[in-house]
Structure 1
Amino acid sequence: MINRVSQIGIPVQKMERAVQFYKEFLELQLLFETNTMAFFNCDGLRLLLSVSENETFANKSSIVYFEVDEIKTTYTRLQKNGVQFLSKPHVVAKMDDTETWMAFFQDSEQNTHAIISEVAFK
């Protein structure tokens, strides 16, 4: 039985550029790195950046949805850090008394990811 996701691998072309993006732009904690891999902590979930040794895995990233508390504040801060967003924060779903907000961006390696927030409304 699967309990939880513990690590997500993200393919990169240039390790130094990718480490800078995730460490400085997204402000994630760098755990350790080698020449071909870097591990980041995202509230207990590890993000593994790796230079693909096999063309099969190059540029085949899943979308990582980074949960944030204040999406508009985070969006503004990350934009100031240099993150290039593909969309502004917007509502994608309404369920009971919450709205799901998202904003998509690309990392330094052209992988698409998003920030996401569950916002209570009245």
Structure 2
Amino acid sequence: MQTKISEIGQIAITVSDVKQAMVFYRDVLKLDFLFSPSDELAFFQCGPTRIMLSTPQGAGEIGKNSLIYFKVENIEAFYEAVIQQGAAPEREPQFAAPMPDHELWIGFVRDPDGNLVGIMEEKRSN
């Protein structure tokens, strides 16, 4: 029997207004919209991982969720573009750590509900 987790299938993000959040995740972050079965749910695709936006369920609290890091190319340009499109700036991209074959760069913005959204780029070392 396989007991090892193979991959992340879906990540849920708690928001106050799914329709408002859909605009941010679709139009600002440019995630591929999949479907919205109700006013309380919307699904997007980011690479192999599905992102679910939902209103609070159970103990979920808006803006106090786990942090998602989206991999991007040209982190500085991406950061500036999403700020101009309405993302709230949190921390400009900066060098985070040296790796054997690349440098890790990290930056942060906030969505309309204050959820922290991480962006990262693995810049190849010269």
TM range (shorter): over 0.9
5+ residue gaps, structure 2: none
Structure 1 ranges of 4+ moved more than 3 A: none
CA RMSD of aligned residues (A): 1.2
| CA–CA separation in structure 2 for the residues paired with 1:53 and 1:79 | 29
Cα distance in structure 2, aligned partners of 1:98 and 1:6: 26
Cα deviation digits, residues 40-98 of structure 1 (max 9, x gap): 011121000001132x1122311000001211121122122121121111001012231
- Aligned AA for 1:35? D
| 1:1-122 mapped onto 2 (5 Å cutoff) | 1-33=4-36, 34-54=38-58, 56-59=59-62, 60-122=64-126
Alignment identity in percent?
Answer: 31
TM-score, with structure 1 as normaliser: 0.92
Cα separation, 1, equivalents of 2:51 and 2:14: 11
Which SS does the other structure have where 2:73 is aligned?
coil
Point out where structure 1 has 5 or more consecutive residues left out of the alignment. Answer: none
| Aligned residue pairs, count | 121
The TM-score, its normalising length taken from structure 2, stands at 0.90
Equivalent-residue separation in structure 2 for 1:116 and 1:5 (angstroms): 18
Determine the C-alpha separation between the residues in 1 that align with 2:72 and 2:88: 17
Contact kept, 8 Å, 1:98 with 1:120, in 2: the verdict is yes
